[in-house]
């Protein structure tokens, strides 16, 4: 299970409390969002957290460094290549210094598809793992290629944006990709109903990524609410392992 949280949300203390506990509640990989100026493929809930965090926090890397001190599970950064494309070397160096494990750039295979291999190599050369983001709108051959390049897992965003529950046929979307790729397959984007998660797992997903619903829990019931949701979803996943 991959859990997403925006860096330093809702405030630095609560964020650390979340980080300290995620592993115990059943998270395998922690995904941390660094706010970009334009979260092109994110829904309103995550966009709102970016706004709050970027108003409140100066030094993101300091916090990342601290996160790595506190937990052992892999930490993957989520942000947009668009934001760093002109200063990628500098960015990768800072990520390396904060010892995060990997980076996921949802716009890499969409807006930079003509030169994505170049960027994948740049990232790997820094010793940082690249988690590739794919989506149903991608052609079959690109998905297959990406699955061979990706580290840790292949991220499959089944909806056009995070957190907006557009009606889709989860089973047929996942069936298609499962028959094409051998890599570990984590499904996300708008996954929040138990029914959707069960469907995803029963047709061959290796796990799920949740973000928006965790943030909604934090907003409603604080960090404990989010942790409890993780425990509950973990229980659902465990039925399939």
CA 24 to each of CA 21, 83, 135, 214: distance values in angstroms, whole numbers, following the listed order: 6, 33, 30, 16
Query: Taking CB under 8 A as the rule, which mask of x and - marks residues 103-122 in contact with another protein?
Result: ------xxx-x---------
Q: Pick from 173, 191, 208, 233: which binds another protein (CB under 8 A)?
A: 173
Determine the Cα–Cα distance for residues 116 and 107; give it in Å rounded to an integer. 10
Contact 67, 75 (CB under 8 A): yes
Establish if 166 lies at the interface with another protein (CB under 8 A).
yes
The nearest distance, CB 72 to another protein, in angstroms, is 35
Determine the Cα–Cα distance for residues 208 and 194; give it in Å rounded to an integer. 11
Active-site residue, from 17, 20, 24, 31:
31
Closest residue by Cα to residue 153 from 133, 136, 138? 133
Determine the Cα–Cα distance for residues 154 and 131; give it in Å rounded to an integer. 6
Residue 26 backbone class (left: φ over 0; alpha: ψ -120 to 50; beta: rest): left
Query: Taking CB under 8 A as the rule, which mask of x and - marks residues 178-217 in contact with another protein?
Result: ----------------------------------------
My answer on whether omega of the bond before 10 falls inside 30° of 0, hence cis, is: yes
Quick check: is 42 catalytic?
yes
The nearest distance, CB 134 to another protein, in angstroms, is 9
The nearest distance, CB 125 to another protein, in angstroms, is 25
Phi, then psi, of 5 in degrees rounded to 5: -145, 140
Q: Pick from 56, 172, 202, 221: which binds another protein (CB under 8 A)?
A: 172
Establish if 135 lies at the interface with another protein (CB under 8 A).
yes
Subset of 12-71 contacting another protein (CB under 8 A): 37-38, 40-41, 43-44, 47
Kindly list the catalytic residues. Answer: 31, 42
């Amino acid at each position: 299970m991959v859990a997403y949280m925006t860096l330093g949300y809702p405030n630095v203390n609560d964020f650390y409390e979340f980080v300290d506990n995620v592993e115990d509640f059943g998270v395998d990989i922690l995904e941390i969002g660094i706010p970009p100026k334009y979260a092109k493929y994110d829904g309103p809930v995550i966009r709102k957290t970016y706004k709050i965090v970027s108003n409140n926090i100066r030094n993101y890397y300091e916090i990342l460094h601290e996160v790595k001190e506190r937990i052992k599970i892999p930490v993957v950064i989520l942000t947009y290549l668009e934001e760093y494309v002109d200063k990628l070397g500098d960015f990768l160096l800072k990520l390396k210094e904060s010892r995060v494990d990997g980076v996921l750039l949802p716009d890499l295979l969409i807006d930079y598809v003509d030169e994505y291999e170049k960027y994948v190599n740049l990232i790997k050369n820094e010793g940082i793992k690249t988690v590739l983001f794919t989506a149903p709108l991608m052609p079959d051959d690109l998905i297959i290629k990406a699955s061979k390049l990706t580290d840790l897992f292949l991220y499959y965003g089944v909806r056009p944006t995070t957190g907006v529950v557009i009606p889709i046929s989860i089973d047929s979307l996942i069936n298609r990709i499962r028959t094409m790729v051998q890599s570990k397959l984590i499904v996300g984007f708008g996954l929040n109903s138990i029914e959707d998660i069960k469907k995803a797992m029963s047709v061959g997903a290796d796990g799920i990524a949740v973000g928006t619903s965790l943030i909604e829990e934090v907003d409603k019931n604080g960090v404990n609410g989010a942790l409890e949701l993780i425990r509950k979803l973990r229980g659902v996943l465990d039925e399939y392992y």
